[in-house]
Structure 1
Amino acid sequence: ETARDLLKRGAKVYIACRSLEKANQAKQELVAETGYPDIHVRQLDLSSLKSVREFAAKFLAEEPRLNILINNAGVMACPKALTEDGFEQQLGVNHLGHFLLTNLLLDRLKSCAPSRIVNLSSLAHRYGTINRQDLNSERSYNQVTAYCQSKLANVLFTGELARRLEGTSVTAYAVHPGTVNTELPRHM
């Protein structure tokens, strides 16, 4: 929905997705629905910090402007797994991947200010705690607890980022998307 609205407003939209097949399908649907073709598909796997770095480097090399960064990808309540970098999957994908991506693109956002960063959070952050003694959920793993921790990390990061960006004309927001029909809760 967000990409559709941005296209209708004349924005150049990049969709970064783990699956290029799904991203290209979404692109075709968006172009057909909106009539606006200025949409670009790039591969990005947030469970791989290498992939995040590669995506950011390519984006910065080809695109001189970035006015809005929407960190929207995520996983929810999935079985215990680690990212290729050894992080608990939900923390790695939902928070650390976005954290790195945002920081790699931050100078471009500043140079194009006014600009904004939107991090999709969840009301689940209210039930989360940051377990500093077991951040990676190695001692005990609960799918929902790990998800809530990752969403709390999003909210805390966004709050601190907003504070650090005061006076730069770059704003940062954490937003709860509401109930949306997606594949996100497929593991529940």
Structure 2
Amino acid sequence: MNESPTILLTGTSEGIGYETARLLAAKQCTVIVHARTREEGEESYQRLLGSGVDARRFQPAVADFTDLRQVIDLAVEVAELFPFLDVLVNNAGTTGTHGRVITKDGHERTFQVNYLAPYLLTRLLEDALSRSEVGRVVNVSSSLHRGGRINWNDINWKRRYNRGAAYAQSKLALTMMTTALSELRPKVREAVSVHPGIIATGMLPCYSYRGRPVVEGAEPVARLADPGAKVLNGGYYDGRLPAKAASAAVDPDSVRKLWTYSERLTLFDKHQA
């Protein structure tokens, strides 16, 4: 394994993503730190440098996940700069909006940001991941995926939009993707999901009024993203410990259905050409 393994970590502007980037850089990893905008990326980059981490450990990257074209551009940029990608951490996410919002790509915003964008990014980086001895994907999920269901007949919530249900659906889909990656995609060597805990970040209103310090949520994510760590392929972790995912997350028929559906929704085959 490379002495300075390369990790793409999405959503590093604040919260768990920011702290995870700091922890991984301290482990001598090269971290591609993704942000939604250049302004957010520059601000978090300067804070990371101010925390005393070596600037050579970071490579900034930008993409707004509400625009799948930017996700494609991000994947192309990363693959060109780092043909061997050791780990991809799909951390970027949103709690969603009180009212239903449709992206320019035609998808409900929460579903696109929390699931379709990470799905497309992962698929486009499969080759780079396959060249690494590690080739791991870490999906930052949520315990709330257990209360979710894939609304097959109305995945964009044209009827009866509910913010909490949309969030739970997106995190269930992300957890299902972990199962798919471990069972259907040999190019990705390992995939895991993790619920970081109830942490005092912008996601807290989805769970509770009180949360643990952000660094406590970053620690299990950083551990699973550490290329030297052994992980349970296809597993779901609650913090540091393996746990049982929702039955829908490991149902073979549902997982395959979502995989095929996601290819269609993201026009994956066209982007691959």
> Is TM more than 0.5 here?
yes
Q: Percent identity?
A: 35
| 1:82-119 deviations in Å (ceiling 9; x for gaps) | 11101011101000000000000011101112221001
> Following the alignment from structure 1 to structure 2, what is the Cα–Cα distance between the partners of residues 178 and 34?
27
Matched residue, 1:55: 74
Report the Cα offset of residue 22 of structure 1. Answer: 1.7
**One-letter amino acid of the counterpart of residue 70, structure 1:** V
The 1:75/1:139 distance shift into structure 2, 3 A limit, reads same
Where does residue 44 of structure 1 map in the other structure? 63
Check conservation: 1:77, 1:187, Cα contact below 8 A: no
Whole-angstrom CA distance in 2 between matches of 1:118 and 1:30: 22
Q: What is the CA deviation profile of residues 25-46 of structure 1, one whole-angstrom value per residue up to 9, with x for unaligned ones?
A: 2111212213311211111111
* Match status 1:114 vs 2:134: yes
Q: How does 1:156-175 map to 2 (within 5 A)?
A: 156-165=176-185, 170-175=189-194
AA of the residue aligned to 1:161: L
SS at match of 2:165: helix
Among 96, 101, 122, which residue is 1:81 paired with? 101
Measured in 2, the distance between the counterparts of 1:180 and 1:44 equals 25
Instruction: Give the Cα separation in 1 of the matches to 2:107 and 2:23.
Output: 34
Matched, 1:123 2:143: yes
* Residue equivalent to 2:160: 140
Task: Confirm or deny: 8 A CA contact 1:73 1:94 kept in the other structure.
Answer: yes
Deviation at 1:77, TM superposition (A): 3.7
Distance in 1 separating the partners of 2:84 and 2:42: 22
Over 3 Å counting, the alpha-carbon distance change for 1:187 and 1:77 in structure 2 is: farther
1:183 CA displacement = 2.1
SS in 1 for 2:92: coil
Alignment of 1:23-42 (within 5 A): 23-37=41-55, 38-42=57-61
**In 2, distance between residues paired with 1:169 and 1:82?**
31
Letter in 1 for 2:118: H
State the Cα deviation string for residues 49-98 of structure 1 (Å, max 9, x = none): 10000111111122222111000011114121011101011101000000
Relative distance call for 1:169 and 1:142 in structure 2 (3 A) is closer
Query: Residues 18 and 44 of structure 1 are in contact (CA less than 8 Å); yes or no, is this contact kept in structure 2?
Result: yes
Q: 1:153 is matched with which residue? A: 173
Structure-2 change in CA distance of 1:66 and 1:97 (3 Å): same
CA distance in 2, matches of 1:119, 1:169: 13
Paired residues in the alignment total: 187
Are the counterparts in 1 of residues 96 and 109 from structure 2 also a CA contact under 8 Å? no
2:46 is aligned with what amino acid? Q
Asked if structure 1 preserves the Cα contact closer than 8 Å seen for 2:90 and 2:118, the reply is yes
1:165 positional shift: 4.2
**C-alpha distance after superposition, 1:116-156 (max 9, x if no partner):** 10011001101000111111101120010111000100111
Gaps of 5+ in 1: none
Q: Distance in 2 between matches of 1:100 and 1:137?
A: 21
Q: Which runs of 5+ in 2 are unaligned?
A: 1-18, 208-273
Change (3 A) 1:78 1:39: same
